[in-house]
Chains A and B, each alone.
Chain A
Amino acid sequence: MAKGPYSDIVMDHFMNPRNMGEIEDADGVGEVGNPACGDMMKLYLKIEGDRIVDAKFKTFGCGAAIASSSMTTELIKGKTIDEALKLSNEAVSEALGGLPPAKRHCSVLAEDALRLALEDYKKKKGLA
């Protein structure tokens, strides 16, 4: 049972972030910053066909920001682009067992990073 304001899942992803790092030859990169908190999130996608085959992140931010980034990469790996575009910040937050109200913007940040990474991919492919 979580002792602090963060759920056990958030703490797990904070302590053991999944898919942390860079993808050197990424097909799409999304970078976002949030002025409210000063968080910075960078999401790298590897896409084959219309499927996300790999996702990695780097994040400067609080526990919620790191956990949201980590969870987002987990949720989108193996998904098609259309499926990934449907991923909402609420879904990220829910998968994390909830976030404190003041930290919900961290899950929005992850959603924004994902959208930018997918836009970047489409631009590179001349799809957008």
Chain B
Amino acid sequence: MDRIYFDNASTTPIDKRVLDAMLPYFSDFFGNPSSVLIEEGQMPGKAIDEARERVAELIHAEKGEIIFTGSATESNNLAIKGLALANRSKGRRIIFSDIEHFSILNQADFLTDLGFQIDYVKVDGYGIIDMGDLERKVTEDTILVALIHGNLEIGTIEPIEEVARFLKKRGILLHSDGTGTCGRIPVDVKELGVDTMTLSAHQINGPKGIGALYIKRGTRLTPIIHGGFQEMGYRAGTENVPYIVGFGEAARIAREEMGERMAHLTMLSKKLREGLASSIEYIHFTGHPEKRLPGHVSFWIEFVEGESLLLWLNLNGIASASGSACASNMAAEDEGGLKASHVLTAIGVPPEICHGSITFSLWKDNTVEEVEYVLSVMPGIVKRLRDMSPLYENYKKTGARTI
């Protein structure tokens, strides 16, 4: 049976057109772009320049505001550490939202060791930033806020413009992780008002191992990888030319096809969401109902555990993701490594319960037939797991909804 891939928030396959664009730069045009005076270096240098232009166009930035990095994780590290270090004479406090990616959150200890203090801003039940809490958390000493643009686990899109306006009045910088949005929905960094923004290639049919950071012109940022003068001095290391070219091509295609993709995905996710809502009892959709990524359907189901749900979907040929504790970190040394998703915890899903959370993230190649197939197998899987659930048995006997 053909697999149904509904896990595009984890990664997407490389578009054939992207791969074709990349291939010559592995061998035919192998030169080092820093070797500007020899022919071998000139062609790759030009290719990087064009890719930078394409990525800039995707988010309405200028070419000189785009830096290529090794991943979105690296971009988030460069932005936060780079802005913090460049502005430490102004203040030592940084605010992270509770639903940031690990590549933001896990910088906290390192930054604390450097003398910074991290404060956390809450989100509401939909995952939208709590502006009142932000106002309370901002101090004279606050220099930077990190707020993700589109959360890949619950799909919610944050009101970046509003936050940027609020922060600008107070002279505070704003970094936004646009991994989930750049290339999926229209992004205009000037309208959003961000100072830095992270982009990822593999989220939009580009290769893994390449990311980018938008750095608004005039922003002071201290590099964290030191070496040669690549990427305008912000990121040393010989450029990964084929991957940069691939990112550029993926960005071009994403921009040109965005309109039709969004319409297609909106139709698919509406059908999927409505179908699940009408066929499964005690299902709770997560994230904001409207302000969300197209094609993103996330939920949790009572009396059913997430990893078991995910495994059964997989056995039925369907790829999905789960934020449940049980499914969290299979490689952990012990059960201490198992934690329910911090994003679900932040929006108020009970953390002590191993809930049946699932994220379906659809993308351009998914079809109505696939949605219909998923809808046809889901009720059976849920029934099977509920039939063996002591929680469901207890609910039927006592009416107790322990979750």
Interface set of A (CB-CB < 8 Å, partner B):
5, 14-15, 17, 20-22, 31, 34-42, 57-63, 65-66, 100-105
Compute how far the CA of A20 lies from the CA of B353 in the bound complex, rounded to whole angstroms: 22
Smallest CB-CB separation from B315: which chain A residue?
A: A15
Compute how far the CA of A31 lies from the CA of B391 in the bound complex, rounded to whole angstroms: 11
**Nearest-Cβ distance from residue B102 to partner chain A, whole angstroms:** 17
Asked if A35 meets B330 with Cβ closer than 8 Å, knowing A58-B393, A63-B307, A102-B338, the reply is no
Asked if B228 CB lies within 8 Å of chain A CBs, one says: no
Q: Tell me the interface secondary structure of chain A in the complex.
A: mixed
Asked if B363 CB lies within 8 Å of chain A CBs, one says: no
Compute how far the CA of A103 lies from the CA of B335 in the bound complex, rounded to whole angstroms: 6
Q: Which residues of A contact B388 (CB under 8 A)?
A: 17, 20-21, 57-60, 66
When the two chains form their complex, are residues A60 and B389 in contact, meaning their CB atoms are under 8 A apart?
A: yes
When the two chains form their complex, are residues B389 and A59 in contact, meaning their CB atoms are under 8 A apart?
A: yes
When the two chains form their complex, are residues A35 and B352 in contact, meaning their CB atoms are under 8 A apart?
A: yes
**Known A20-B387, A103-B335; further 4 A-B contacts with Cβ < 8 A:** A36-B335, A38-B354, A40-B389, A102-B335
Q: Which residues of A contact B353 (CB under 8 A)?
A: 38
When the two chains form their complex, are residues A41 and B355 in contact, meaning their CB atoms are under 8 A apart?
A: no
Q: Which of B334, B335, B352 has the most CB of A within 10 A?
A: B335
Compute how far the CA of A110 lies from the CA of B324 in the bound complex, rounded to whole angstroms: 21
Asked if A31 meets B307 with Cβ closer than 8 Å, knowing A5-B330, A38-B352, A102-B329, the reply is no
When the two chains form their complex, are residues B305 and A61 in contact, meaning their CB atoms are under 8 A apart?
A: yes
Q: Which residues of B contact A61 (CB under 8 A)?
A: 305, 308, 326, 354
**Nearest-Cβ distance from residue B143 to partner chain A, whole angstroms:** 38
**Nearest-Cβ distance from residue A98 to partner chain B, whole angstroms:** 13
Compute how far the CA of A31 lies from the CA of B307 in the bound complex, rounded to whole angstroms: 21
When the two chains form their complex, are residues A37 and B325 in contact, meaning their CB atoms are under 8 A apart?
A: yes
List residues 318-360 of chain B with CB under 8 A from any CB of chain A: 324-327, 329-338, 340, 352-355
When the two chains form their complex, are residues A104 and B325 in contact, meaning their CB atoms are under 8 A apart?
A: no
When the two chains form their complex, are residues B333 and A102 in contact, meaning their CB atoms are under 8 A apart?
A: yes
List residues 381-402 of chain B with CB under 8 A from any CB of chain A: 387-393
Q: Which residues of B contact A101 (CB under 8 A)?
A: 332-334
Compute how far the CA of A65 lies from the CA of B325 in the bound complex, rounded to whole angstroms: 13
Compute how far the CA of A66 lies from the CA of B308 in the bound complex, rounded to whole angstroms: 9
A-B Cβ contacts below 8 A, count = 95
Smallest CB-CB separation from A6: which chain B residue?
A: B311
Compute how far the CA of A44 lies from the CA of B337 in the bound complex, rounded to whole angstroms: 31
When the two chains form their complex, are residues B389 and A14 in contact, meaning their CB atoms are under 8 A apart?
A: no
Q: Which of A5, A57, A102 has the most CB of B within 10 A?
A: A102
Compute how far the CA of A5 lies from the CA of B304 in the bound complex, rounded to whole angstroms: 21
Asked if A105 meets B335 with Cβ closer than 8 Å, knowing A22-B393, A61-B326, A62-B307, the reply is yes
CB pairs A–B below 8 angstroms (18 shown): A22-B393, A34-B335, A36-B325, A37-B335, A38-B305, A39-B326, A59-B388, A59-B390, A60-B354, A60-B391, A61-B308, A61-B326, A62-B307, A62-B327, A63-B308, A65-B305, A100-B330, A100-B331
Q: Which residues of B contact A5 (CB under 8 A)?
A: 330-331
When the two chains form their complex, are residues B391 and A40 in contact, meaning their CB atoms are under 8 A apart?
A: yes
Q: Which residues of A contact B352 (CB under 8 A)?
A: 35, 38
Asked if B303 CB lies within 8 Å of chain A CBs, one says: yes
Compute how far the CA of A62 lies from the CA of B353 in the bound complex, rounded to whole angstroms: 12
Q: Which residues of B contact A63 (CB under 8 A)?
A: 307-308, 311
Compute how far the CA of A114 lies from the CA of B117 in the bound complex, rounded to whole angstroms: 48
Compute how far the CA of A12 lies from the CA of B241 in the bound complex, rounded to whole angstroms: 46
Compute how far the CA of A63 lies from the CA of B326 in the bound complex, rounded to whole angstroms: 9
Asked if A38 meets B393 with Cβ closer than 8 Å, knowing A59-B388, A60-B305, A66-B388, the reply is no
Q: Which residues of A contact B355 (CB under 8 A)?
A: 38
Compute how far the CA of A59 lies from the CA of B308 in the bound complex, rounded to whole angstroms: 11
**Nearest-Cβ distance from residue B197 to partner chain A, whole angstroms:** 35
Q: Which residues of A contact B327 (CB under 8 A)?
A: 62
When the two chains form their complex, are residues B330 and A102 in contact, meaning their CB atoms are under 8 A apart?
A: yes
Smallest CB-CB separation from A22: which chain B residue?
A: B393
Cβ-neighbour of A38 out of B311, B326, B333, B392 (below 8 A): B326
Q: Which residues of A contact B392 (CB under 8 A)?
A: 60
5 smallest CB-CB distances across A and B, nearest first, come from A38-B354, A62-B326, A102-B332, A62-B307, A42-B390
Compute how far the CA of A59 lies from the CA of B389 in the bound complex, rounded to whole angstroms: 5
**Nearest-Cβ distance from residue A58 to partner chain B, whole angstroms:** 4
Q: Which residues of A contact B315 (CB under 8 A)?
A: 15
When the two chains form their complex, are residues B305 and A62 in contact, meaning their CB atoms are under 8 A apart?
A: yes
**Nearest-Cβ distance from residue B52 to partner chain A, whole angstroms:** 40
Compute how far the CA of A35 lies from the CA of B325 in the bound complex, rounded to whole angstroms: 10
